[in-house]
A and B are shown apart, each in its own frame.
Chain A
Amino acid sequence: MSATDTPASLTAPASPDAAQRSPWGEVLHSLLRSGTFLTGLFILLFWVVCALFGQYFVPYDPLASDIINALSPPAADHWFGTDQLGRDVFSRVIVGSRDILTVAPLATILATIAGTALGLVIGYFRGIVDDIVSRVLEAFMAIPVVIIALLAIVALGTSKVTVIVVIGLSFAPIIARTVRSAVLAERELDYVAAAKLRHEGALHTMFVEILPNVIPPILVETTVRLGYAIFAVATLSFMGFGIQPPSPDWGLSISSNYGMIGGGFWWTVLFDALAIASLVIGVNLVADGVHGAFND
């Protein structure tokens, strides 16, 4: 039975033996049947491929300027037109996914690691540690990310690393809060009591016993945060922080070209804006699918 279980469940999704799949198989299964998730994944993968290999298939060098053909509208030789330095907008949009798709995921990973550790500690120990840390986190969450970023960047200088750290640390409290409430429910269960009776250390109980059981909410929160991280990175690079010229980054391109849209040069900003929009919506669709798969 167990040998035929996997193929049977793949060919007949609604088969009654679904209950025999492992919980993770169940999640994967409902993910692959979710239209939202697959659409989002497709958009996300498209941009990942562009980020990784875009430079090998774009028609022009995204950084090469050609002043004579500057600001020419979309045509056969430049599909999306050229910008004020005569650079090919199509090539820049394709390659422009690279920086944001490095900075935003790194920031999210930092936020997840820091937030999970913090959430485990305050959820496990509760009491005064929880009270103090939770108040501090709430205060931190009340300040908009843009403001924190402005201050940090003024203080520490602008660089991709600053942006990663700022976004990572401003999102960590939100993840910590999610992890904390999951841990609060887990710590009352028998397996935690058993671990305590075995005289396992607090660290062992937190990271070896509890952590694997709170992975689902962490995963959901991480995918949601990735969407916000892309939002934040794009906004900051539009404001001129973090990713620096001559990178073909979308936010940066918009900020250097939007001053001229009054002159009707719409193609210099529209495609970058649509690229950001598609990436953000794609990631949010993925997050929505993951959320749905774990909460069915």
Chain B
Amino acid sequence: MVFLGGQVLPGNVGRAILGPFADQRAVDALNHSLGVDRPLLVQYGSWIWNFLHGDMGTSYVFRAPVAPFVIDALGNSMKLALVAFVLVVPIGILGGVIAALNFNRPLDRIISLGGLSVTVLPEFVTGIILILIFGVWLRWLPIAAAWPKGAGFFTQLYYLILPSLPLFLVLFGYIARMARSGMIEALDSDYTRTAVLKGLPWRTVIWRHVLRNALLPTITVIATQTGYLIGGLVVIETLFRYQGIGSLIFTAARGKDFPMLEAGILTIGIVYAVATLVADFLYSVLNPRIRLGAEQ
């Protein structure tokens, strides 16, 4: 589908690269050398075949193989996404749990309402406001995610904090809300009442009985947010001038660099599929009911 979108609709590739004033013969020659004058099915077949063999095609703009660009960018994006996830998963769950334990009290209201308000804001809006606060006024953090070459782990981390914060804010609301409703449901259940009536200490009840059941749906939500995260990366990487997969796709789309665009989108499709698979697996590991069902 991506291939069709990129290859069929835009019309003349050679024309798009060389610009409207190029000689028609030059356009034809370029089209031929790129192979885009071949029938569509042939192009599609050879594209899939080459991708499976690790050859993602040649960039129209850079006149170089696409693969190194995509792999580099994917690595950078993974770093950014990882920082965001490492921050948001524990803090989001903690926020939800605290909100649920203070159900309907002011603290719950603050966490729920605050989480929801930052979740609905576009990433570039929170990004701009955060840049202004931490980058321009306080001057605590660098405003572009471009660290000096050969920077160590902590320097890279330092440069990645600000870009990961908008992603953190959006995800925080979702994760906290799921954790909160899961907790409330679990706290309300019969097994929790039984555990309390057995005389178990409150702390044990929360850790052993409530949390485990409450966090299952949260895991699914975290996995589905990978899809969102990819969309968010396009915006954030553009805003912070970060060389990730999102800005790669964006630049490729603007420059009509179709092999790059297709390779980038196919790559994130694969990442998404893997993330969903891992989430299903984790869910079944953590949920004894599903695990037993599979063994029978």
Contact = CB atoms under 8 A, between A and B. Distances in A.
Are A and B associated in one complex? yes
Contact of A258 (B128, B227, B250, B254): B128
B288 to A, nearest CB: 28
Contacts of B253: 150-151, 153-154
Interface in B243-275: 249-250, 253-254, 256, 261, 265, 268, 272
A261 B258 CA distance: 33
Nearest to B255: A154
Main secondary structure of the interface of B (DSSP, over half): helix
Interface of A: 142-147, 150-156, 227, 231, 234-235, 238-240, 251, 254, 258, 261-262, 264, 266, 269-270, 273-274, 276-277, 280-281, 284
B6 A273 contact: no
B239 A280 contact: no
A251 B256 contact: no
A144 B256 contact: no
Given A155-B5, A155-B9, A147 B124 contact: no
Given A151-B2, A151-B6, A153-B253, A261 B120 contact: no
B124 A251 contact: yes
A238 B235 contact: yes
Contact of A235 (B10, B123, B136, B137): B123
B213 to A, nearest CB: 25
Nearest to A145: B231
B227 A144 contact: yes
B117 A281 contact: yes
A238 B6 contact: no
Given A150-B253, A151-B2, A284-B116, A261 B132 contact: yes
Nearest to A228: B120
A280 B227 contact: no
Contacts, number: 110
Main secondary structure of the interface of A (DSSP, over half): helix
Contacts of B143: 261-262
Given A156-B9, A258-B131, A262-B143, 18 more contacts: A143-B227, A144-B231, A144-B234, A147-B231, A147-B268, A152-B5, A154-B5, A154-B10, A154-B253, A155-B10, A231-B120, A235-B122, A239-B234, A261-B143, A269-B132, A273-B125, A277-B121, A277-B129
B124 A270 contact: no
Contact of A239 (B9, B120, B136, B250): B250
Contacts of B43: none
A262 to B, nearest CB: 6
Given A147-B265, A156-B9, A235-B124, A270 B250 contact: no
B277 to A, nearest CB: 13
A264 B136 CA distance: 6
Nearest to B265: A147
B10 A239 contact: no
A281 B117 CA distance: 6
Contacts of B58: none
A142 B272 contact: yes
19 contacts: A144-B228, A144-B234, A150-B250, A151-B2, A151-B6, A154-B10, A155-B5, A231-B120, A234-B125, A235-B124, A258-B128, A258-B131, A261-B128, A261-B136, A264-B136, A270-B128, A274-B129, A276-B121, A281-B120
